[in-house]
Structure 1
Amino acid sequence: MRKFISALLLFFLFPSFAYANESYDRLVPLATKYVGVPYQFGGSSEKGFDCSGFTRHVMSGVGVELARTTAEQYKQGSAIKKEDLRVGDLVFFETYKKGPSHAGIYIGDNRFIHASSSKGITVTSLDDSYYKKRYIGARRVLAYEQALGQFQDVRNDFWASKEIETLGKNEMILGYAKSYFKPDEVMTRAETAGLLATYLKLNMNNRKETFTDVTSDHWAVGAINALVKENIVDKSNKQFQPDEPLTREQLAMWFAEVWKLKRGADVPFADVKETDAAYDAIEKLVAAGIANGYEDGTFRPKETVTRAQFAVFFYRAINAK
């Protein structure tokens, strides 16, 4: 009861703090896991969606409440120019009747995801001949309060500011509502899977329950299964532990597979043995200049990874030669 009362006080005294708990990095994995679900007029579940039912369902997963109809959704948020689109903006089209009659969610790279009456949930280019001439506008319903790449809790003199800003500008990491990044919070295994699968542009529509602790309705189920398919994540374990913190050795093993890293000269660490499962991956990460050991000669493989640390490792991996 005491925790509940404390949470209420935080919400009412500091509403932006409570609102900032919504992670926008979940949006693309959450939306794309439904690719292939059939169109259903009036539908709002994985059994079938119509366009506004789909946008409403996905946005509820990141803490945004939308109206039920396309026309009403077109009145929400703020108007955005096409050249200023950001991931999560709603895009609208005039199709079978005058005014907004079709909606989708912009997911970057000039693409939007939507419930097509002929294809079901699908990803389409805004330059598609049919939709390009029917585009009528966009609305921003996510709480972006800073410019692209800027976060309220990352100052210019912060040690990882360059990497975080670059990833933010490229929309590889979106952060949280109200433009928070939360650099000191730990990265979870599910969050890491979502970012990697999104970066790799993997198909994330497999909602099969590969792990006992990742159900078909989990926001990252498609991302996790996509990494399993690519042999990045080992499926031999019964549980994935999606909410557990990512460790340095887990990051090393996943990154080594994602970027197909090569071994360099042996780098002896006092706390990493050749018999350890992550030994080769750690050596590859060090050889690529993505991560290093500590001054005391350790790698600390079991140490958890913060969001700021992950951003730096992610940035280095993307730019590794």
Structure 2
Amino acid sequence: MKKKILLPIFATFMIFSGVGMGSNNTAQAASVSELTATASKYIGVPYVYGGTTASGLDCSGFTQLVFKQLGYDLNRTAASQYKQGSAVSKSDLQPGDLVFFNTTGKVASHVGISLGGNKFVHAGTSTGVTEASLNSSYWAKRYNGAKRVASFGESNKVVAAVSSVEKEEVKDSAIDFTIYASRGEVAIQLAKTLGLNTSDTNSPFTDIKSSSKYAGAATALYKLGVFTGDEGKFNPASPLTRAQMAKVLVKAFDLKMKQDTLKFTDVPTSHWAHNDISILASNGITVGKGDGTFGTNDNVMLKHLTAFINRLQ
């Protein structure tokens, strides 16, 4: 992607109005999906004052790193980033807008990246990189404005086509698979990441025909013992919980325990996935949800699936 230098407010205005900026306003923009995937892969990275790498990030180091990977230059500190771009009202926030907060008595002492609506992602001092809501009591009273330093194109989402038969599996829970990861999508992503041979489409599962796009991946993972099915079915259009995901990842990547430091309040030693979640945590693949829990029964979101896989590569 061509490198883009973020401009002062007056220059940005000329780009938006098409005045005198030549070919710069025809440069290809990153998509919303690229922005979200890039920001989400750092979820769980710990907060480190002055940190600018994936081993530790502070708030402006996080925003700078994400934008750099998308081809844009941001200033180093939250205060200097606040001087870039053009002001945006809270009601007009779009994915990629920088959101600023007064947390220390300064106009812009903290910065995050809007995901659209009230959601944003940031590197918090006590949570590390995590998602948060502008409507929470803490952030709502500290919100101090937003800046648009770049515009992101429409997301080109690759959404699995779900047949009427597959929809029957999840009709009661009304899962939105543009947000959540289906078992079929997990299989495809894992097979791709592991470099598995997916040419054998003779599926051992009764609900996956050889013509299904999931057949090769599901069969390859079955051979590895990653997915064994439920009474002969794979249930490709059903969601996967975070606890189930832990078990799948540990098996798929043959992860071993490094040091059991698990402290999640919702994962007692008696929990069936305690060992698998402990292994993920000991390998730095997860730090939980930021509130002391792992979210064992929460369905895995596509962006979290991407984050987990990126940390395993």
Structure 1 length as normaliser, TM-score? 0.46
